Amino acid sequence: MEYYSFLLGLLAFFLLGRLFASADIVEFDENYEITWGYDHVLLFNQGREVQLSMDISSGAGFGSKLRYGSGFFHMRIKLPPKDSAGLTSQGDKHDELDFEFLGNREGKPITLQTNVFADGVGNREQRILLWFDPAANFHTYQILWNQHQIVFYVDDVPIRVFKNNKNIGVGYPSQAMQVEASLWDGDSWATDGGKTKTNWSMAPFKAHFQGFDIGGCPIIQNTNVQECYSPKYWWNSEKYWKLDSKQQIELENVRNKYMSYDYCSDRPRYPVPPPECLLQ
């Protein structure tokens, strides 16, 4: 499948969060706008579902109209059912929190990669093999982002935690960011390190998105990003400073059963583990 990226960044972040009851009644145009590939985007169900498509001529993308300083957001996504190895999505290199679906041949498990960038420094990849077919139905991809931790979720199950360890010199995303999603050709690297190329005979590749409410703290005009750390936003309350016991068990289950790569364990790449890895 293709490699989509939900990017948390100074110019681009894809915060995904809790599915509220109102999520599917919010129209796309309320919070988002098409950013490129206009003729490769279709809206369905009165603007409550968006399709991005990609062929050999172009991909497509959309982004939020506002920037955010913290939040707990969601997006429901259904991947293309066809062989779409090598496709990818892009974003800027400032602060980012990424969900990336790494392409594969039809019938093979889909790898979900997450990454964390702070001040342009990333290389913190973790990969899991999804325990379901992301092309068969919509699934919810979520990210909690506050000043204590970043948590990646799939269908409310935590799959990764990145703690704020600025006190030991580890960068932590803290810049105002936008929501951005895009689909483009990344067969130079996205699948098997670029060895598996996009099969254009299967194009167009189509991904569907739902859930366009945004529950983050908006940065409007001269709003100070520090205001987004206020406890008036429920995701900043002490309850969300760490996982509860049930979530911790769920996280360990995912890591034990489905994790295929963790940068913290890559000794050829990092002979000396990054400092945050020593605290896990």
Q: Which of 49, 100, 180, 276 is catalytic?
A: 100
Task: State the Cα–Cα distance between residues 158 and 255, nearest whole angstrom.
Answer: 10
DSSP of 21-90: TTGGGS-HHHHEEEEE-GGGEEEEGGGTEEEEEE-SS--EEEEEEEEESSEEEEEEEE--SS--TTEE--
Task: State the Cα–Cα distance between residues 262 and 251, nearest whole angstrom.
Answer: 14
Task: State the Cα–Cα distance between residues 171 and 98, nearest whole angstrom.
Answer: 16
Tell me the CA end-to-end span of the chain in Å, nearest whole number: 31
Task: State the Cα–Cα distance between residues 154 and 159, nearest whole angstrom.
Answer: 7
100 is catalytic: yes
Q: Which two tokens stand for residue 209?
A: 């998105």
Q: Which of 49, 96, 180, 276 is catalytic?
A: 96
Task: State the Cα–Cα distance between residues 39 and 51, nearest whole angstrom.
Answer: 11
Q: What are the residue numbers of the active site?
A: 96, 100
